[in-house]
Chains A and B, each alone.
Chain A
Amino acid sequence: MDNDYDALVIGAGVIGCAVARELSRYELKVALLEKESDVCGGASKANSGVLHSGIYSAPKSQKARLCVQGNDLFSKFTQEIGVELQRIGKLVVARSDKEIEELEKLKKVGKENGVLGLKLIDVEEVRRLEPNIRAQCALLVPSAGIVSPYKLTIALAENAWENGVKVFLNSKVTDVSKKENYFDVKNDNLTFRTRWLINSAGLYCDTIANMLGIERHKVYPCRGEYLVLDKSYDHLINHLIYPPPENGSGGLGVHLTPTMEGNILIGPSAEYIDEKDDIRTTKEAMDKLNVQAANFLKQLPKDAYIQSYAGVRCKLIPKGCEASGDFVIEEDEKVEGFINLMGIESPGLSASPAIAQMVVDIIKSRETLKPKDEFKTRRTGRRFGLLDIKGKSKQIETNPKHGHVICRCENVTEKEITDALDNPLGVRTLAGIKYRSRATMGRCQGGFCRARIVQIMEEQYKMGVQDITFRSGDSRLFIGRTKDLRGNDREES
């Protein structure tokens, strides 16, 4: 049967994509189902993009173990899919005596978890490393780093596809039932059959588990908002700058995160919310973030934000609980073949390679997996805008369309836009282009290039006015052609 699979993964966030890709190393028929119009529509696109080291989680927890393992695996993991990782290191800074005690505790926990290279540094050293930061002393965490979470997730999905995984977008799982030795998985119009079923539906992991009668865990969504600073302020910090975590606050505290593209992120806030999809940003949180950033930075630039966004944490512990809760990663004891991944909140991104291996190991403990003869890896260089003069010159030689810059703030070229439109998953949305090429993500937020991109979609890809959407089908940019509203309709091309 066509829709018969060895393994089916629900949810194409970083976890689902990493799992699907890990499975694609073996002679298995694998499907990846995602409800949104593109992969990476959930928490994986809206987080800090920090590769954590493993200093926060309680010793012996899954979080601690998988984070430390994940951190170890991350260099190879990102190299294999051509995504850049920078281990810029983290400073957890103390601004009071009480916070200094917290640093000692973190160091102890980190050591116990097996994090290497932790070092307490004094005020002089902090000043040398971070002249713009207020602190009495700091804990230096050299193994921490930064990665673009959406680039990573998209590359994992596309590489999984290149290795034979079938990716189904706009494919929301509405029902799952356990048959004798397989599952029937339904979306709106198809039924899939699979021997192994992996639940990596993020915030909706409880919904999926409930479909199989598993009701042990409930998700408590907790929103985190961010502000994005203009890249001209990239010199303000050199490391990740964190406060010591506050127990029961829902997050690790508002921190400053450099990104590969030069925009510093300020956030996240932490607010328990009622609706899982409520990724609004709020005035209250933005004002607070601004104040909290000023607590770190000796000088906070004014009017320098280019964007705000929010992601939602998938917590298994309700508001007010001191405990932080652990990842659930197991083959369900009652439902054989159902691998349940629940509560994959921070440090889920960092742990993703280790979680993917763990899932494969669960399957391996039950059957022999045969590695494929050939497993494809990817090599993608830096994007045009980040190359030096020589690199840029060479790239234009390979294809003249690299010489035509479309997004002027971020120097994204026509070739990069069409490459994004030619993605193997067949995604043709403005958001898809944005996350793949970076066009529209700079300081003018598409003020000029969005129109040029639409022109390319129209002229080179023959997309009609109704097909030009931001994300899914209902997020249309246009209502039609001019004059349509006045009744004298003209022919739609």
Chain B
Amino acid sequence: MIEKKVDIAIIGAGPAGLAAAISAKTEGIDNLLIIERDEHLGGILNQCIHEGFGLEIYKEALTGPEYIQRFIDEVKELGIPVMLKSMVMELNDKRELIVSNEEGLHQIEAKAVVLSMGCRERTRGMIRIPGDRPAGIFKAGEAQHFINIRNYMIGKKVVILGSGDIGLIMARRLVLEGAEVPCVVEILPYCSGLIRNRVQCLEDFGIPLLLRHTVVDIEGKERVESVTIAEVDDNWDIIEGTERKIECDTLLLSVGLIPENELSKMAKIAMDEKTGGAIVDENFMTSCPGIFACGNVLLVHDVVDYVTMDAYLAGKNAALYVKDELIKKPKIEIKTGPGIRFMVPQKIALEDVDIYMRVLEPGFDKNIIIMDGQEVLKSKKFKRVAPPEMIKIKLKKNEIEGAKEITVSVE
């Protein structure tokens, strides 16, 4: 066993991990370590070769690799130590890590830890699509990797289930690569990806989006030969008689992302069922002192810019924690009320703070209302709200002074 002590260990080198590392270093911490299981820095952005990253931060539409390269370059310039092809196998609440790589097993003691492990994709098994189990069923992100990184073409005629952003982006990619996409099938009554992706990836290419539809059967012994789709009612039950078979050789699943919190659970960190990530305070610190979380492992973000912004704060606060400069303030709970799907942070001190949330349903002319008990602290009007889009609200110290328990709702 190889033993090592560091001030801050950062698990995962996607946009979250890299930004956290950069800000911790800038805050004066030198004994840092980024641990990444892949061969490269950059996480999932390496395969996102479409543009649209960085609109918030850089006011530029960069591709994923272009966006992340800026961070990779900075990490290199700052001389931040990196362990690649190294997998964190274990983490406990004393901030001890076990890491496996070709040199051996490493036992690393860290004064602070930043969790930035990203997320994984939901699978066919989780949504229980019945039918045959042939080749030709891919998760959308997996297909993105095969096509963009390895240059394998996954099929000629591809039905896509789920209108999440990855699914929409892949619909366009597949058409550009010469495949046919007969339709994107979505069980919800609305598109679950961003409007800009719906327009640019589906509408501009004439790909139909079938709302309130789902895949009810997969046929094919060796390779997918067809899928059966059907319309569903409000309870997602299949409306009989609407079944229809679509010939295709591939089914792509874009049915949601799940934060990869196996390590967080190992360290017994308190989790939020709604986000699927850790419960954090305004400093991005989890229930476990000295362990911070940011990026998609905390909650699934829509755009990477927010990931970067969170991660800067998480990294900085981890540095302050190590230097014993993170001021301990009393916290209050901040809860989701009617209409809000989830929200982060779940605990705040009564200071200036940004809160992020997603709504349950799309709507027009809605107010996001911040209440303390029965008292309205703040109300912000939105012309339009939609589940795919993260809403960010700034709370000022003077707006929340003296609050006991804050609830956020939409009306």
Residues in B neighbouring A400, C-beta threshold 8 A: 102-104
Interface pick from B17-25, B132-140, B201-209, B382-390: B132-140
Q: For the complex, give the distance between the alpha carbons of A479 and B132 in Å.
A: 20
Please state if A283 and B121 are interface contacts (CB–CB under 8 Å). Answer: no
| CB–CB B151/A403 < 8 A | no
Q: A480–B178 Cα gap in the complex (Å)?
A: 12
* Residues from chain B with Cβ under 8 Å of A484 in the complex: 153, 178
Q: Do the beta carbons of B149 and A482 come within 8 Å of each other?
A: no
Q: Which of A403, A446, A486 is within 8 Å of B178, CB to CB?
A: A486
* B401 is an interface residue with CB less than 8 A from chain A: no
- A481 touching B87 by the CB < 8 A rule? no
- A405-B37, A411-B89, A482-B152 known; A470+B178 contact, CB < 8 A: no
Residues of B within 8 A of A447 (CB): 120-121, 123, 139, 141-142
A109 within 8 A of B: no
A474 contacts across to B, CB distance below 8 A: 222-223
Tell me if B125 counts as interface (CB < 8 A to partner A).
yes
Determine if A404 and B152 form an interchain contact, defined as CB atoms under 8 angstroms apart. Answer: no
CA distance A307 to B358 in the complex (A): 29
Question: Are B100 and A482 in touch, CB under 8 angstroms?
Answer: no
Q: How far is the CA of A474 from the CA of B249 in the complex (A)?
A: 12
B102 A305 Cβ-Cβ under 8 A: no
The residue in B145, B151, B152, B222 that gathers the most chain A C-beta atoms within 10 A of its C-beta is B152
Judging by beta carbons under 8 Å apart, are B98 and A481 in contact? no
Q: Is the CB of B126 within 8 A of A306?
A: yes
Chain B window 240-255, contacts with chain A (Cβ cutoff 8 Å), 1 for yes, 0 for no: 0000000001000000
Chain B residues contacting A450 (CB-CB under 8 Å) are 142
Known contacts A403-B105, A408-B37, A478-B153; is-contact A228 B135 (Cβ 8 Å): no
A73 close to chain B: CB less than 8 A: no
- Decide if B151 touches A482 in the complex (CB within 8 Å): yes
Do residues A392 and B105 form an inter-chain contact, with CB atoms below 8 A? yes
Partner of A282, one of B124, B125, B130: B130
State whether A446 touches B142 (Cβ < 8 A): yes
Distance between Cα atoms of A474 and B386 in the complex (Å): 43
Given contacts A454-B150, A476-B223, contact A392 B133 (CB under 8 A): no
Q: Which residue of A lies closest to B117 (CB)?
A: A408
Minimum CB–CB distance from A292 to chain B (whole Å) comes to 15
Cβ of B147 and Cβ of A482 under 8 Å apart?
yes
Option from B87, B152, B221 in Cβ contact (under 8 Å) with A478: B152
The 10 closest A-B CB pairs, nearest first, are: A485-B178, A474-B222, A307-B125, A470-B135, A400-B102, A475-B222, A475-B135, A405-B87, A486-B178, A393-B105
Contacts A397-B104, A455-B150 supplied; 13 other A-B pairs, CB < 8 Å: A228-B125, A277-B221, A279-B132, A392-B105, A403-B101, A408-B87, A411-B89, A446-B142, A454-B146, A475-B135, A478-B153, A479-B156, A483-B153
9 contacts between A and B (CB under 8 A): A392-B89, A393-B1, A445-B123, A470-B135, A478-B146, A481-B152, A482-B147, A482-B152, A484-B178
